[in-house]
Chains A and B, each alone.
Chain A
Amino acid sequence: MNATEAKRLVLDVLSGIAPEADFDTLPGKAQLRDELDLDSMDFLNFIAGLHERTGLDIPEAEYPKLSTLDGAVAWLSR
């Protein structure tokens, strides 16, 4: 998966969790939990959504690397 595809996927999954958010202005380096007001269940659903769409296993220990938009894109397109 290249970075463009990864970004599209991440935003698509996030828009199902925070439908009211404006993703055009989402800063790449901001913490998604803070920026989008995600709680623990929301973040788990984000990870589960990425897993379901890609089949990739995302261990809990890797969660911090996916905590920002840029981080999630980098992780998925690594």
Chain B
Amino acid sequence: MPSLGADMEAGTLVEWMVKPGDSVKRGEVVAVVETQKGAIEIEIFNSGVVSELVVPVGERVPVGTILARIGGAMPAAAAPPKPPAAAEAQPPTPPAPPVVAPRPVMPVVPVALPAAAAPARKPVSPAARRLAAERGVDLQQLTGTGPGGAITVSDVEAAKPTPPPVEVTRRRTGFDPAAMRQAIGAAMSRSKREIPHYYVTQTVEISAALRRLEKMNSERPPPLRVLPAALFLRAIALAMAKTPELNGFWEDGRLRPGDGLHIGWAIALRGGGLVAPAIRDAGQRSLDELMAAMRDLVQRARASGLRGSELSDPTVTVTSLGDRGAESVLPIIYPPQVAMIGIGRIVTRPWVVDGAIGPRPVVTVTLAGDHRASDGHRGGILLAEIDRLLQESETL
């Protein structure tokens, strides 16, 4: 069970898209997991042949639990920290013949979580697990009579079925607002507890930028039009190249720079809550490509069609409040990231140009930085660069 963010402790397996014997390629979607952020498609991290599906559909397991095994895989790039009980839950008999060296798949994305987040699991025989899934028996409620307290088939047979978890029938129908509120609360509490935030703010005059968009959009049909938010994102993506210390993760007492610039784009969900899936390699995407990526993410975020890697990849997060938002925002960094940029609503304000005051459209850009990784001086350089780029919006 991969971690899809600092706020995730467990997930429910709601669908397997592969079965034992199937060949899988790294990056392929193999399962759907229900999380506090809704149903998320999980990609496999290694290529090989599926030898065993360890976690049955409907079961909720902590982050770090092995979901499946594949044979013939190259060593995992990052070995998952196995919960102690996971090893005991392995089958007592050798796995399927084609398996040379079974290796755990889906290594946990390296996100720091308290060790206590994974409660000890009871040993369960695979046959008992399958039967429990079929009959809707909650394994956590059983006392095992097998070796080492393991739950056996007869334990399951003796148990009364419990109603199947609600999640099974809730596949892709959205998310639980209360659970998401809890997840956001946990991540933001950690951020406020651990991250010494500093804030720098700049008001950017954008009349030239808006004129450029207006002209561009007047020549395009509605589906190809570009929103101001995409232009802001383009300026941020280019400006970030100048301040690499704002892009990455704070881990083990130091900055681990991002492997590329993957911007988490904060999306408000209807009914409350938000997600910030990644726009990968944002600095290398054109304005139109960024706009297309934003549209795609918004649509899939609301339809619960996001992939696990999209939630775990962001190296920095951007939130744009849009035309009904507040005038400015002081973001709270999403740990373990080290910076977040907030963009307020476009407003018309008195502005001095060549010694005269006139009404101009302006937008407030705010950077929240982690003071352990950078100083406000560097943050100011980023904002000045964003401003400069938006003044020369023809080049964006």
Query: Which A positions have Cβ atoms within 8 angstroms of B?
Result: 18, 20, 33-34, 37, 39-41, 44-45, 47-48, 50-52, 57-60
Q: Are A44 and B225 in contact (CB under 8 A)?
A: yes
Complex contacts, B323 vs chain A, CB 8 Å: 33, 39-40
Q: Are B223 and A41 in contact (CB under 8 A)?
A: no
A51 and B224 alpha carbons, distance in the complex (Å) = 11
Given A20-B270, A45-B295, A58-B222: 18 more A-B contacts, CB < 8 Å: A18-B270, A33-B323, A39-B324, A40-B227, A40-B228, A40-B229, A40-B322, A41-B229, A41-B294, A44-B222, A44-B225, A44-B227, A48-B223, A48-B225, A50-B222, A51-B223, A57-B222, A60-B225
**Is B221's beta carbon under 8 Å from chain A?**
yes
Q: Do A34 and B324 contact each other (CB < 8 Å), given the known contacts A52-B223, A57-B221?
A: yes
Interface residues of B, CB < 8 Å — how many? 19
A40 and B291 alpha carbons, distance in the complex (Å) = 12
Q: Do A41 and B298 contact each other (CB < 8 Å), given the known contacts A20-B271, A34-B324, A52-B223?
A: yes
Q: Which residues of chain B from 114 to 167 have any CB-CB distance to chain A below 8 Å in the complex?
A: none
**Is B86's beta carbon under 8 Å from chain A?**
no
**Is B93's beta carbon under 8 Å from chain A?**
no
A37 and B272 alpha carbons, distance in the complex (Å) = 11
A72 and B112 alpha carbons, distance in the complex (Å) = 50
Query: Which B positions have Cβ atoms within 8 angstroms of A?
Result: 214, 217-218, 221-223, 225, 227-229, 268, 270-271, 294-295, 298, 322-324
Complex contacts, A18 vs chain B, CB 8 Å: 270
16 examples of A-B residue contacts, CB within 8 angstroms: A18-B270, A33-B324, A37-B270, A39-B324, A40-B228, A40-B322, A41-B295, A41-B298, A44-B222, A48-B221, A48-B222, A48-B223, A51-B222, A51-B223, A58-B222, A60-B217
Nearest chain B CB to A67 CB, angstrom units: 11
A41 and B292 alpha carbons, distance in the complex (Å) = 11
Complex contacts, B294 vs chain A, CB 8 Å: 41
Nearest chain A CB to B387 CB, angstrom units: 21
Complex contacts, A50 vs chain B, CB 8 Å: 222
Complex contacts, A34 vs chain B, CB 8 Å: 324
A20 and B177 alpha carbons, distance in the complex (Å) = 14
Dominant secondary structure at the A interface: helix
Point out which of B221, B222, B268 has the most chain A C-beta atoms below 10 A from its C-beta: B222
Q: Are A39 and B322 in contact (CB under 8 A)?
A: yes
Complex contacts, B298 vs chain A, CB 8 Å: 41
Q: Are B222 and A41 in contact (CB under 8 A)?
A: no
Nearest chain A CB to B300 CB, angstrom units: 13
Nearest chain B CB to A19 CB, angstrom units: 8
A33 and B214 alpha carbons, distance in the complex (Å) = 21
Complex contacts, A59 vs chain B, CB 8 Å: 218
Q: Are A60 and B270 in contact (CB under 8 A)?
A: no
Complex contacts, B218 vs chain A, CB 8 Å: 59-60
* 10 closest residue pairs by CB, A with B: A48-B222, A51-B222, A48-B223, A39-B322, A47-B222, A40-B322, A41-B298, A40-B323, A40-B227, A60-B217
A20 and B174 alpha carbons, distance in the complex (Å) = 12
Nearest chain B CB to A65 CB, angstrom units: 14
A48 and B217 alpha carbons, distance in the complex (Å) = 12
Complex contacts, B225 vs chain A, CB 8 Å: 44, 48, 60
A57 and B298 alpha carbons, distance in the complex (Å) = 24
A34 and B295 alpha carbons, distance in the complex (Å) = 21
Nearest chain A CB to B292 CB, angstrom units: 12
Nearest chain A CB to B299 CB, angstrom units: 8
A25 and B234 alpha carbons, distance in the complex (Å) = 40
A39 and B227 alpha carbons, distance in the complex (Å) = 11
A44 and B295 alpha carbons, distance in the complex (Å) = 10
Q: Do A51 and B322 contact each other (CB < 8 Å), given the known contacts A20-B271, A37-B270, A40-B227?
A: no
Complex contacts, A52 vs chain B, CB 8 Å: 223
Complex contacts, A41 vs chain B, CB 8 Å: 227, 229, 294-295, 298, 322
Nearest chain A CB to B253 CB, angstrom units: 39
Residue of chain B at shortest CB distance from A55: B221
A57 and B175 alpha carbons, distance in the complex (Å) = 36
A10 and B271 alpha carbons, distance in the complex (Å) = 22
A75 and B218 alpha carbons, distance in the complex (Å) = 18
Nearest chain A CB to B97 CB, angstrom units: 49
